[in-house]
Amino acid sequence: MADKKMVEAITSMEEDFAQWYTDIVKKAELIDYTSVKGCMAIKPAGYAIWELIQNQLDAMFKETGVKNMYLPMFIPESLLQMEKDHVEGFAPEVAWVTQGGGAPLTEKLCVRPTSETLFCDYYKGVVHSYRDLPQVCNQWCSVVRWEKETRPFLRSREFLWQEGHTAHATAEDAEKRTVQMLNVYADFLENVLAIPVIKGQKTEKEKFAGAEATYTVEALMHDGKALQSGTSHNFGDGFAKAFGIQYTDKDNTLKYVHQTSWGMTTRLIGAVIMVHGDNSGLKLPPKVAPTQVMIIPIQQKKEGVLDKANELLDTLKKAGIRVDIDDTDKTPGFKFSEQEMRGIPMRIEIGPKDIENGKCVIVRRDNGEKIDVALSDIESKVKELLVTIQKDMYEAAKAHRDAHTYVAVTMDEFEKAFTEKSGFVKAMWCGDRACEDEIKDKLAVTSRCMPWEQEKLSDVCVCCGKPAKKMVYWGKAY
């Protein structure tokens, strides 16, 4: 039961979702604002989540043959301009370095907004033969995009991410890698972050600047808005032609490589907050919880309580669980609320009464359930519960997503879905940019993706009534 003071601590999500989000980000101590506009200090609690994301995602990449490397944070102006669509897409939001050591530079450098051009420049030097392919590299770094309006994790001027860049001998290989990486992303979101996603393709209007095709994983936040959570792009040979990346094939002819890129960012932390969080604070899936279990001793000054609590701590630590103990002299009630705010998946209460009975009390963050557990069973029970919580959080998020996904066959239904409700709306589309533009102007709604799992809801476009080509997920986006 939520105590009055606890509710007052953060704005409720029903009252003001944006403020609720900001409150959580601050009160769970994930970030601080800094004196650099639009750039945040990612605090230890926030960065630890990012490290867990990095470690697990990186391991998944490596299973598919990805190698990590690093390229400069600066891009010469001439390099950025090599590919026309790409530069048009990014030029408006890049930051420029015009001086070095007090003297003007002969050529200004932009701070990378993304590194396609640098990887192209690099691959041009290392790819000569079909034997040099494929190149499958990734870098973990930060990028800078001069956003006008910023929000912690969701939109900042500098953000952390990974960007994978590959070069392949054939269009088929490139397409295969693009799809493969999107599947890695979907797998990661669903199994590690417990966030269900829609996999699909972006429309021409929404695809990445310079890409032939952009695939995306789209997630639904608790307020019914969509969040693009990861993208994978197939560039075809467009960049290769612009940069002259060629190799000699087995038949002794010169051919252009086919390239891909794919990225996920610290925005994922925003997604975790907005998918799982509640009015008591953050709710972390066990797999990305820096602390999975917090032990809270009750009446800790009483003989033997702290000893027993520390014994528990050791047992669980040895079992490989990320566990900590809160033995500060705050009251238990305060500690309960604080650990809930921080999103710790599970807490263990242990006091004199428990010790007498050879047990302790486990409380789940995800559903508040209290469970008596014999001290002798603690290790196996905690392990089992962490798995259960991870799974239940995914199921809860999926139930919410499904309950907020609507079907619209007519424009009337479509408009109603967005004015009276909020969430994903599935509707048929003719494939024309004009209909996409009209829907956006009218309802501030964008096409999120053309899902790989297509359904036929009707024969005609929801907007113009002409024959439909694709079923599209629409939504209001972050």
Partner RNA sequence: CGGGGUGUGGCUCAGUUUGGUAGAGCGCUACGUUCGGGACGUAGAGGCCGCGUGUUCGAAUCACGUCACCCCGACCA
Chain positions 348 to 377 lying near RNA, rule: CB under 7 A, are 349-354, 360-361, 363, 368
Shortest Å distance, C-beta 26 to RNA: 8
Q: Does 198 bind RNA (CB under 7 A)?
A: no
Smaller CB separation from RNA, 33 or 244:
33
- The count of other CB atoms within 10 Å of the CB of residue 163 is 22
Question: Which one of the spans 293-301, 379-387, 394-402, 452-460 is the region binding RNA (CB under 7 A)?
Answer: 293-301
Residue count, binding to RNA (CB under 7 A):
72
**Quick check: 347 and 288 in contact, CB under 8 A?**
no
Shortest Å distance, C-beta 281 to RNA: 8
Site for RNA in 7-26 (CB under 7 A): 9, 17-19, 21-22
x/- mask, RNA, residues 430-449, rule CB under 7 A, reads ----------x---x-----
Q: What is the 3-state secondary structure (H, E, C) of the chain?
A: CCCHHHHHHCCCCCCCHHHHHHHHHHHCCCEEECCCCCCEEECHHHHHHHHHHHHHHHHHHHHCCCEECCCCCEEEHHHHCCCHHHHHHHHHHCEEEEEECCEEEEEEEEECCCCHHHHHHHHHHHCCEHHHCCEEEEEEEEEECCCCCCECCCECCEEEEEEEEEEECCHHHHHHHHHHHHHHHHHHHHHCCCCCCEEEECCCCCCCCCCCEEEEEEEECCCCCEEEEEEEEEEECHHHHHHCCEEECCCCCEEECEEEEEEEECHHHHHHHHHHCECCECCCCHHHCCCCEEEEECCCCCCCHHHHHHHHHHHHHHCCCCEEECCCCCCHHHHHHHHHHHCCCEEEEECHHHHHHCEEEEEECCCCCEEEEEHHHHHHHHHHHHHHHHHHHHHHHHHHHHHCEEECCCHHHHHHHHHHCCCEEEEEECCCHHHHHHHHHHHCCEEEEEECCCCCCCCECCCCCCECCEEEEEECEC
Shortest Å distance, C-beta 386 to RNA: 18
x/- mask, RNA, residues 244-263, rule CB under 7 A, reads -------------------x
Site for RNA in 33-52 (CB under 7 A): 33, 36-38
Site for RNA in 402-431 (CB under 7 A): none
Q: Does 385 bind RNA (CB under 7 A)?
A: no
Site for RNA in 207-236 (CB under 7 A): 208-209, 228-231
Among 46, 134, 152, 290, binds RNA (CB under 7 A): 152
Shortest Å distance, C-beta 130 to RNA: 31
Q: Does 282 bind RNA (CB under 7 A)?
A: no
Among 148, 250, 358, 455, binds RNA (CB under 7 A): 148
Site for RNA in 331-350 (CB under 7 A): 331-334, 336-338, 340-341, 349-350
Among 265, 292, 390, 447, binds RNA (CB under 7 A): 265
Question: Which one of the spans 239-247, 249-257, 265-273, 411-419 is the region binding RNA (CB under 7 A)?
Answer: 265-273
**Quick check: 166 and 127 in contact, CB under 8 A?**
no
x/- mask, RNA, residues 75-114, rule CB under 7 A, reads -----------------xx---------------------
Shortest Å distance, C-beta 132 to RNA: 29
Shortest Å distance, C-beta 90 to RNA: 8
Question: Which one of the spans 150-158, 235-243, 397-405, 467-475 is the region binding RNA (CB under 7 A)?
Answer: 150-158
Question: Which one of the spans 142-150, 246-254, 307-315, 381-389 is the region binding RNA (CB under 7 A)?
Answer: 142-150
